[in-house]
Structure 1
Amino acid sequence: MIGTQENLLEIRDLKKTFSIATGLFSKKLTLTALSDINFNVRKGETLGIVGESGCGKSTLGRCILQLISPDEGQVLWLGQDLTRVPAEEMRKRRADLQIIFQDPLASLNPRMTVGEIIEDPLRALKPDLSKTERRARVVRVMEAVGLLPEMINRYPHEFSGGQAQRIGIARALITEPKLIVCDEPVSALDVSIQAQILNLLAELKDEFGLTLIFISHNLSVVRHVSDRILVLYLGRIVELASGDQIYDDPLHPYTRALLTAVPIPDPKLARQRNIDALRGEIPSPINPPSGCAFRTRCRFAKPECAQTRPPLETVEGERLVACIRWQEIQGERVIEGTASL
């Protein structure tokens, strides 16, 4: 069982802010991208992270990989705090910690061949390997992701979006990592190609013994790959539960709204939905609402929701939710959208 496995990664009290200039001579404002983030990732699981654009998903992924530095908190990788690791030692950790980017073609160097792109991490992180050994690894990993070895000397512009993402996956796999952060890896692809890439990631996870963090704005996509799901809103965790708990009985109003935001192809089922659609725009993280940040868009909000920020509390087993009214909401039927994947 995944629940009994060791923690590869532990995030403790993570916070990240950015200074935003509003004008040439104006005082800089503080944008809080992440605040009070606590969770763990177990060996062999896939943790989904979902939320709208601007909720801090990609920032969290980059803080985990130390591509950007958090302001506060710890990123514990096998017990070692990566935020305190010297740059040279962190460079050696890169072989274990890899990322797949959202835009496949934009993440590939157009002046390099596919073979050179996939091989590049080996040259940087595995300098002891010979050229022959590196090339043999490239061929093996190309075959693993469904690319023909004879494509090795082609350039990125010669590939479709789905093939380009397979190149990105191969590049992440080449160092034999323990953890891969998948940052919206299918959002730029057609729905039919999305399904192929999701199935490929599931197969590679089993074949290579990977642990995945899968970032997406679409709960229906995350459903296909995740063991547990973490829901972010304005840089804070509002719910964390198993995939079955999230889809069968969501506790936070924001989770419910995300579920009902996906279109349903059946008009009859669509009419049976509870009206949990997201209202208005996401508030500014520079000046978020008082109390519960979601209250300005929540149909369950009461005056008391504006008074204090709800803590992230354990409600059953390892399930977490940040909502003072979750018990009133629990059990109300949700008919969620189902993507045709």
Structure 2
Amino acid sequence: MSDAKQPILSVRDLKVEFQIKDTKAWPWTPTRSLKAVNGISFDLFAGETLGVVGESGCGKSTLARALLNLNPANSGSIRWMGQEMQGSTDAAWLSVRKDIQMIFQDPLASLDPRMTVAQIIAEPLRTHHPELSHDEVMAQVRTIMGRVGLTAQQINRYPHEFSGGQCQRIGIARALILQPKLIVCDEPVSALDVSIQAQIINLLKELQAEFGLALIFIAHDLAVVRHISHRIMVMYLGRAMEVAGKHALYDDPRHPYTQALLSAIPIPDPDLERGKVIQLLQGDLPSPLNPPSGCVFRTRCPKAQAQCADAVPELRTTTTPGSQAACLLTCTLSPGTTVKTCDTANGSTAPSAS
């Protein structure tokens, strides 16, 4: 992880909304707004991996696509290397696209079935570096194929001739061919067998160390995210519930949602696994078209109080170093002070000396 002081990517209050119309409603029925990403903020530094976890439908993939302008954000700020990209033109995005690449969730569906491996991996080079000759492009393609574990004999094959793990290696090679500074990985191992997952994750870690890559690694498997990430952001219904270093998050989770997620991780020791208590969440995931007022997690939270329905909790620094949580009932440090705010025995908040 780099010691750089300035983040290469800085996101502030990012919001992505979709207008949804009920196909069974009357034609004049107004559309409803679905807030897929609702006020996400984070910084990412060179050589760092930020893991993003949460249930299906929480906005992880929408966030990933918004960072590359594949799903344009409605508001907020996306600063890349100090340059504001939110609302920029397609030409401005094209100029930075070579530095930000993406690995997609479905390895086979993300590859054009009519193109050979050589054509797929070379396409970014031909787009961003048209001055390169055919021989120069092919030389770089062969080099990067060898680095991700593909052989030169496979260069003229088509995607359907490869396994899922090999297709994902092709996707990684395509993302690496431009030598980017950041790769956004949208659940890159969820469609693969466990043994292949380990190979791909280890490959990404090796490539990160070799090329100094920054990674945004999106997954729903907390064990996988722990293995590869430096920091982790937990999302729920489009909002960030907790952001912390991996050791702080796994050893001392501060948000009730994070605590419930971690309690469900299997333990390799059979004796410990039998004695483990899983925190079951009550109810179903609310509809993102009609999220709860106040804290979006309150309808399933075992610690919810009446005040949770009134105020939307913002991410605040907790008493655990390097941790932020969006919970009214979690000990937090007041900005610029050493005074912490904690829940009392009856659930109300009260200040206390740190």
Please indicate the TM-score interval, normalised by the length of the shorter structure. over 0.9
Q: Does 1:287 align with 2:294?
A: no
Check if 1:39 corresponds to 2:42.
yes
- CA offsets 1:80-137 (integer angstroms, 9 cap, x no match): 1112332122112111010000000010111111111101111111111111111000
Q: Matches of residues 309-320 of structure 1 in structure 2 within 5 Å?
A: 309-316=312-319, 317-320=321-324
Given that residues 276 and 299 in structure 1 are in contact (C-alpha distance below 8 angstroms), is that contact kept between their aligned partners in structure 2? no
Which runs of structure 2 are paired with 1:185-224 in the superposition (5 Å)? 185-224=188-227
Q: Which residue of 2 aligns with 1:322?
A: 326
Question: 3-12 vs 223-232, which deviates more?
Answer: 3-12
1:134 — aligned with what? Answer: 137
Q: Does 1:8 align with 2:8?
A: yes
- CA distance in structure 2 between the aligned counterparts of 1:252 and 1:176, rounded to whole angstroms: 37
Q: How big is each residue's C-alpha offset from its partner over 1:281-329, in whole Å with a ceiling of 9 and x where there is no partner?
A: 2111111112211111122222222222222111244421011222479
TM-score in terms of structure 2 length: 0.89
Measure, in 1, the Cα distance between the counterparts of 2:171 and 2:281: 33
Equivalent residues in 2 for 1:199-278, closer than 5 Å: 199-278=202-281
Q: Secondary structure of the equivalent of 1:83?
A: coil
**1:16-44 residue CA offsets vs partner (Å, 9 max, x unmatched):** 11100112523211101111211100111
Which shows bigger deviation, 4-13 or 231-240? 4-13
- Judging changes above 3 Å, is the alpha-carbon distance between structure 1 residues 311 and 195 closer, same or farther for their aligned structure 2 residues? same
Distance in structure 1 (CA, Å) of the matches to 2:281 and 2:117: 42
Q: Secondary structure at 2:314's aligned position in 1?
A: coil
Q: Quick one: distance in 1 between partners of 2:3 and 2:271?
A: 38
Name the structure 1 match of 2:181: 178
2:90 to 87, 97, 100: 87
Q: Does the CA-based 8 Å contact 1:110-1:155 persist in structure 2? A: yes
Contact 1:218 1:258 in 2 (8 A): no
Q: Match of 1:196, as an amino acid?
A: Q
Q: Output aligned runs, 1:43-192, within 5 Å.
A: 43-192=46-195
How many residues of Structure 1 are paired with residues of Structure 2 in the alignment?
329
Give the number of the structure whose alpha-carbon radius of gyration is greater: 2
The answer (yes or no) to whether the contact 1:101–1:184 under 8 Å persists in 2 is yes
Identify which range, 2-11 or 212-221, moves more after superposition: 2-11
CA RMSD of aligned residues (A): 1.6
User: Relative CO higher for 1 or 2, CA cutoff 8 Å, sep ≥ 6?
Assistant: 1
Give the Å deviation of 1:4: 4.5
Q: 5+ residue gaps in structure 2?
A: 332-341, 344-354
209-218 vs 291-300, which moves further: 291-300
**Identity, % of aligned pairs?**
56
Residue 22 in 1 paired to residue 28 in 2? no
Distance 1:6 1:303 in 2: 40
Q: 1:166: Cα distance to partner?
A: 0.3
Residue 335 of structure 1 corresponds to none
> Do the aligned residues in 1 keep the contact of 2:281 with 2:302 (CA within 8 Å)?
no
What is the Cα deviation at residue 187 of structure 1?
0.3
Whether contact under 8 Å (1:9, 1:76) holds in the other structure is yes
